[in-house]
Amino acid sequence: MDDEVVLTYKRRRRRRRIHMIVGIVTLIVVFFIGFLIGFLALKSKSEPTKPVVPDKKLSFQERQEQIKKHHMDFTTAVSEDELKSTLRYLSKEPHIAASPRQKKLANELERRWKEYGFDHVEQPEYKALLSFPNTTHPTRITIKYKNGTIIHQIKGEEQDGGSKQAVLPFLGYSPSGKVEGELVYVNYGRVKDFKQLKNLGVNVTGKIAIMRYGKIFRGNKVANAANYGAKAALIFSDPADYALAGGDPKDTYPNTAWLPATGVQRGSIYTASGVGDPQTPGIGSIPGMYRRSQEESQLPPIPAHPMGYGDAIHFLSIMGGQEAPKDWRGTLDITYRLGPGYNRNNMTVSLDINNFYEVKSFFNVIGTMYGDIEPDRFVLVGSHRDAWVNGAVDPITGSTITNEIARGLGVLKNNGWKPRRTIIVCSWGAEEYSIIGSREWVEQHEKLLSERAVIYLNLDTAVQGNYFFTMDSSPLVKDTLREFSKMVDDPSAHDDKKTIYDIMAERNPVDPKAVPPKSKVGNLGSGSDYAAFYQYIGVPSADFHYIGYNYTSAYYAVYHTQHDTFEWLTKFIDPDFKFHKAATQLCGQLLLAFTDMPLLKMNAMLYAEALEESLKTLNSSYGNELKSHSTIGLLERAVMKFRETAEKFTKAQNEMAKEIQEYKEPSFARLRRLNDRLIKVERAFIYSYGLPGRRLIRHLIFAPGKYNLYGSSAFPGVSDTLFTLDKTGDKDEVDRQISIATQAIYAAVDILSGPY
């Protein structure tokens, strides 16, 4: 090849190489510039406008003041319009547990909470034994002549425009069955009612018990009827309890808030209510877990069915027998008689109850916002999502407030706030059957929650009325609830009564004669999702409601009926969502306080007072029986020792609280020592083997009475044993239960003892 040609070829190769290198460098530069522009644009888009970013260089005082500002921002963020929109959506259609609508609502809450900025949102799945009415062979309750001619029949369907998607009236877990026979009226179905019938010479054995709602849990009514020999039960809503202006249509819904004659209260009659899925006691019922048989599951023993007072009057008016005692008579325009038998010899009543059991999947929604300083300590708030029908009040008022709290937390986070402790927001499935959703989740995570949970705040029927706010809680936080209720204005403010606390103290005082009045804060019984947290693993808990209507403390009349709707709620209780807003502000501020306060506002001295009051109640109820039990002296001394120890602990706690008020930054290790002792006082009262006959209810100081599920019983293991002592004669068991309670109190003493 010619030298000149070779040289030309080499020059061309060199130029190509240079061009290639320049091109590559240019591409790299362009890519880097594009990446930088995109990164800065994305960062700018993701950052809040004018964020308040915590500065690690700030002093302790400046950080505390910054937290206070964030908390005030939460109060401002609460919106009546947001609350109204959420409640309208969540209560728009019926959404019984495990229904497609329930899953749709769960998906919507998950979407929202992710949008609000929660770090992790999940929908854990569980399976539970539920029951439903048979729609192809519906229940029929019939009054007929013995020749078969029908006089009156309850067909089971709603009669005044109920949703076609609504479940037919029934009682959860009632077995199916065909029964025919005579009626006996048993008032409210309490044990004392059955005892009074016996004294009056009325035998319930082999009869159909008919009783009115109210006073005690419906499941206990049916169980009591079965224990006294009844072969079936009917439960009705008497206008004396649910239509206080009378049962005339002009005096009931839709003209007033009171229950109309056709309103039927659904509900569960599982007497182990609060212990979750009947087939997986003590085991989180995640798919695939062991399930015991239905025969082992303590399901109700006799068929039962609900009815409205428009139907009940037909049954009660045909009854024979002696007149019912005066205090047993409702306000139906009939003569209330006890039975058995009818006013015509050729009449009878037949029940053809058709329900079925089915294991179905349901979902909780759990949203987590991780703590910045103490991520291993959990502050929880929750409400259940399922309803028997539309459930605008029960439970959607609570679900709405819970969601608005979640939205408010998102606003704070977007403004640069970070929670000190981890916040967990919960939407529970399948509560109505046996408080299943929260129970299964707590059982699954028992060890974790026992170690790390600080407090659980519960919102269920949060705005069922507009007369005054009520609060029930662990003794540890009663004064804290009162303190924060003084910071939120009440929509019923008048004269010098401005705050939620002012209205509570005026309308629900501890002592009406006290000056100044003090608002009641009750003890926790059962009936909602705090049960597993408080009575199973000992997490301090609180429960909140606005109650009352028309200047009375009456329970809301359309409870568990098709009339519990957005329209009923907004027409009679809270048209402008001011009560929802106040409840959200109070509960949200409490959640934030327990999240961010360095030293927890829990008071061991209040527990000392509660123990003393419980002991006083026990002695006043069973003083004669206790005289023969020397162990009662041990219990009394344990209570005294707890007070002495609580006083010493509180002194150390107050010293640190004063330092914090003076903006002296506390030692993290010392904070942990004090805070952990406070929350673990409650754990000390959990007995791993449970209460007598109720191994899944384990709180020895405050738990529902075995014979009154909703109420709170003082020293429940002891009082339950004493209640049945005349039947069992087992005095040894009384001493055993007193000893178990005594040991638990000394365990609490150990936990509170120094050094501090």
Residues 6+ apart with CB under 8 A from 36: none
Mean pLDDT of the region 448-468: 98
Q: CA–CA separation, 687 vs 535, rounded Å?
A: 10
Residues 6+ apart with CB under 8 A from 189: 209, 211, 216, 220, 221, 222, 224, 225, 233, 235
The C-alpha torsion from 14 through 20 and 25 to 31, rounded to 10°, is 180
| Residue type at 747 in one-letter notation | A
- Report phi then psi at 587, rounded to 5: -65, -35
Q: Which helix (H) or strand (E) holds 720?
A: helix 716-723
Measured at the alpha carbon of residue 592, what is the angle toward residues 591 and 598, in degrees to the nearest 5?
Answer: 115
- Report phi then psi at 422, rounded to 5: -75, 135
Q: Is 349 left (phi over 0), alpha (psi -120 to 50) or beta?
A: beta
C-alpha 382, offset from chain centre: 8
Q: Are 303 and 351 in contact (CB under 8 A)?
A: yes
Both tokens of residue 258?
């009171």
Q: CA–CA separation, 701 vs 216, rounded Å?
A: 21
Instruction: Kindly report the average pLDDT of the chain as a whole number.
Output: 92
pLDDT for the residue 726: 87
Q: What is the pLDDT of residues 335-370, one digit of tens each?
A: 999 999 999 889 999 999 999 999 999 999 999 999
Does the structure show a pLDDT above 60 at 741?
yes
User: Which range is least confidently modeled, 71-75, 299-303, 414-418, 710-714?
Assistant: 710-714
Judging by beta carbons within 10 Å of its beta carbon (0-12, 13-18, 19+), is residue 459 exposed, middle or buried?
buried
Strands 304-307 and 232-236: parallel
How many Cβ atoms from other residues are within 10 Å of residue 12's Cβ? 10
Residues 6+ apart with CB under 8 A from 298: 270, 271, 272, 278
Residue 702's nearest CA partner among 718, 716, 689 is 716
The C-alpha torsion from 493 through 498 and 504 to 508, rounded to 10°, is -70
Q: CA–CA separation, 654 vs 599, rounded Å?
A: 10
- Strand, helix or coil at 494? strand
Q: Which residues pair with 423 in a beta bridge?
A: 369, 379
Q: CA–CA separation, 571 vs 569, rounded Å?
A: 6
The C-alpha torsion from 507 through 511 and 515 to 516, rounded to 10°, is -50
How many Cβ atoms from other residues are within 10 Å of residue 6's Cβ? 10
Q: What Rg do the C-alpha atoms of the chain give, in angstroms?
A: 31
Mean pLDDT of the region 438-467: 98
Q: Which helix (H) or strand (E) holds 473?
A: strand 468-473
Both tokens of residue 281?
């006691």
- Report phi then psi at 76, rounded to 5: -70, -30
Total residues found in the chain within this entry: 756
Does the structure show a pLDDT above 50 at 8?
no
Does the structure show a pLDDT above 70 at 36?
no
* Cis peptide upstream of residue 124 (ω within 30 degrees of 0): no
Q: Which residues pair with 129 in a beta bridge?
A: 359
pLDDT for the residue 447: 98
Q: CA–CA separation, 633 vs 741, rounded Å?
A: 12
Report the share of the chain in percent with pLDDT over 70: 91
Residue with tokens 């109420």: 711
Q: Are 649 and 476 in contact (CB under 8 A)?
A: no
528 pLDDT band, cuts 50/70/90, is very high
- Report phi then psi at 633, rounded to 5: -65, -35
- Strand, helix or coil at 386? coil
Q: Considering the entire predicted model, what is its pTM? A: 0.91
DSSP 412-440: HHHTT---SEEEEEEEESSHHHHSHHHHH
Does the structure show a pLDDT above 80 at 22?
no
Residue 225's nearest CA partner among 241, 249, 242, 209 is 209
Residue 377's nearest CA partner among 594, 669, 674 is 594
Report the share of the chain in percent with pLDDT over 90: 85
Q: CA–CA separation, 303 vs 68, rounded Å?
A: 56
Measured at the alpha carbon of residue 656, what is the angle toward residues 651 and 657, in degrees to the nearest 5?
Answer: 95
Q: What is the pLDDT of residues 725-737, one digit of tens each?
A: 988 999 999 999 9
Q: What is the pLDDT of residues 106-137, one digit of tens each?
A: 999 999 999 999 999 999 999 999 999 999 99
23 pLDDT band, cuts 50/70/90, is low
Residue 144's nearest CA partner among 321, 351, 335, 355 is 351
DSSP 106-144: HHHHHHHHHHHT-SEEE--EEEEEEEEE-SSS--EEEEE
Does the structure show a pLDDT above 70 at 20?
no
User: Which range is least confidently modeled, 32-36, 266-270, 454-458, 507-511?
Assistant: 32-36
Q: What is the pLDDT of residues 483-512, one digit of tens each?
A: 999 999 999 999 999 999 999 999 999 999
Mean pLDDT of the region 293-315: 97
Does the structure show a pLDDT above 80 at 77?
yes
Q: CA–CA separation, 472 vs 522, rounded Å?
A: 4
Q: Which residues pair with 353 in a beta bridge?
A: 177
pLDDT for the residue 14: 58
Q: What is the pLDDT of residues 387-398, one digit of tens each?
A: 999 999 999 999
User: Which range is least confidently modeled, 71-80, 226-235, 615-624?
Assistant: 615-624
Judging by beta carbons within 10 Å of its beta carbon (0-12, 13-18, 19+), is residue 218 exposed, middle or buried?
buried
Q: At what angle do helices 631-661 and 668-684 cross, to 10 degrees?
A: 150
Strands (DSSP E) contained in 651-716 are 702-705, 708-714
Residues 6+ apart with CB under 8 A from 439: 274, 275, 276, 277, 531, 532, 536
Does the structure show a pLDDT above 50 at 6?
no
pLDDT for the residue 35: 45
Q: CA–CA separation, 523 vs 749, rounded Å?
A: 21
- Cα-based distances in Å from 688 to 113, 286, 566, 641: 35, 22, 43, 23
Direct distance between the N- and C-terminal alpha carbons of the chain, in angstroms, rounded to an integer: 97
Residues 6+ apart with CB under 8 A from 734: 625, 629, 631, 718, 721, 722, 725
pLDDT for the residue 162: 56
Does the structure show a pLDDT above 80 at 31?
no
Residue 388's nearest CA partner among 560, 236, 558, 242 is 560
Q: At what angle do helices 60-77 and 396-414 cross, to 10 degrees?
A: 130
Q: Are 116 and 352 in contact (CB under 8 A)?
A: no
Q: What is the pLDDT of residues 155-190, one digit of tens each?
A: 765 544 556 789 999 999 999 999 999 999 999 999
Residue with tokens 């339950």: 720
Both tokens of residue 61?
């005082």
Q: What is the pLDDT of residues 627-648, one digit of tens each?
A: 999 999 999 999 999 999 999 9
User: Which range is least confidently modeled, 271-275, 313-317, 412-416?
Assistant: 271-275
